[in-house]
Amino acid sequence: MTTDHSQPSQGESQKAAIVTGASRGIGAAISARLARDGFAVVINYANGADTAGDLRRKLEASGGRAMTFQADVSDASAVARMFDAAEATFDGVDVVVNNAGVMVLDTIAASDDAAFERVMNINLKGAFHTMREAARRLRHGGRIINLSSSVIGLRMERYGIYAASKAAVEAMTAVLSKEMRGRAITVNAVAPGPTATDLFLDGKSPETIERLAKLNPLERLGTPEDIAAAVAFLASPDGAWINGQVLRANGGMV
């Protein structure tokens, strides 16, 4: 484990957010947007300490406060240590964004147990570990924001395991929103459509990418910043009355 952070100012009461899988792609965009909106940010990563460190320095250069924390979200003890570090550095946690995820595509018939376990360990068990810590530790009025996927509605071939992991996250989102009664904590999910990230683009032909971009009426891929804007809304005071919902940020695809 490596921890790298800037020290908070004495007497400062700033809201803090943990973003999992935050070193690149959508997670990095979410971290940057929340920092711009005034949050101190915990940049979680499993691999790629250099990339996470570069993002931290970028946020600090823009006047933000950030720390990096290496943790595999499938490891419950590592997630607990991440919350410990966030509380020690920023005096508490107000927002948790469950963004860490992996995508393994194949038909159900051709998928092996290793692929199933890898996707479920990160996408579902990882989200569970983080939601559980957030439910125990978030300050009054906090936000839990889970990343789902619009492939649940599309039901595309070869996405069976991935879609199943995200469908389970949506179910837990709805349940946890009710369990937070009395603490003014909202629990929602954002379900991106096809978004121009390395995770999405990897292994796809230009023709496939173009076809997927045309599925929504706006006829383009989403950007990480599009998704970050949806997350920022739910994390903001303007999102306080949204609870137990799935916001499908996909350009109108489904």
159 flagged as catalytic: no
How many Cβ atoms are within 10 Å of 111's Cβ, its own excluded? 16
Here the CATH number for the domain that contains residue 126 is: 3.40.50.720
Asked if residue 2 belongs to a domain, the reply is no
Tens-digit pLDDT profile for residues 201-229: 888 899 999 999 999 999 999 999 999 99
Residue 195: DSSP 8-state: B
Question: What is the mean pLDDT of the segment spanning 153-168?
Answer: 96
Asked if residue 23 belongs to a domain, the reply is yes
Residue 152 in this model has a pLDDT that exceeds 60: yes
Question: What is the mean pLDDT of the segment spanning 57-77?
Answer: 98
Distance in angstroms (rounded) separating the CA atoms of residues 170 and 155: 15
End-to-end CA distance of the chain: 40
Residue 91 · residue 13 · CB < 8 Å: yes
How many Cβ atoms are within 10 Å of 81's Cβ, its own excluded? 17
Range of the domain at 58: 14-247
Asked if residue 4 belongs to a domain, the reply is no
Asked if residue 27 belongs to a domain, the reply is yes
Alpha carbon 106 to its chain's center: 23
Inter-CA distances, 121 with 62, 76, 131, 138, 222, Å: 35, 11, 14, 23, 26
Catalytic residue among 162, 195, 232, 235: 162
Residue 85 in this model has a pLDDT that exceeds 80: yes
Question: What is the mean pLDDT of the segment spanning 157-166?
Answer: 97
Question: What is the mean pLDDT of the segment spanning 44-55?
Answer: 97
Asked if residue 167 belongs to a domain, the reply is yes
Question: What is the mean pLDDT of the segment spanning 121-140?
Answer: 98
Tens-digit pLDDT profile for residues 88-120: 999 999 999 999 999 999 999 999 999 999 999
Residue 12 in this model has a pLDDT that exceeds 90: no
- Portion of the chain with pLDDT greater than 90, in percent: 91
Asked if residue 90 belongs to a domain, the reply is yes
Asked if residue 38 belongs to a domain, the reply is yes
Distance in angstroms (rounded) separating the CA atoms of residues 107 and 242: 36
Question: What is the mean pLDDT of the segment spanning 35-44?
Answer: 98
Kindly compute the dihedral angle of the four CA atoms of residues 115, 121, 127, 132, in this order, to the nearest 10 degrees: 160
Asked if residue 110 belongs to a domain, the reply is yes
Question: What is the mean pLDDT of the segment spanning 154-174?
Answer: 97
Enter the pTM of the model: 0.94
The total domain count for the chain is 1
Q: How confident is the model at residue 200 (pLDDT cuts 50, 70, 90)?
A: confident
Residue 1 in this model has a pLDDT that exceeds 50: no
Residue 142 in this model has a pLDDT that exceeds 80: yes
How many Cβ atoms are within 10 Å of 204's Cβ, its own excluded? 14
pLDDT of residue 203: 83
**What are the DSSP E strand ranges found in the chain?**
3-5, 16-19, 40-45, 66-70, 95-98, 143-147, 186-190, 246-247
pLDDT of residue 26: 98
Residue 41 in this model has a pLDDT that exceeds 90: yes
Tens-digit pLDDT profile for residues 233-252: 999 999 999 999 999 999 99
Mean pLDDT, the chain, rounded, equals 94
pLDDT of residue 98: 98
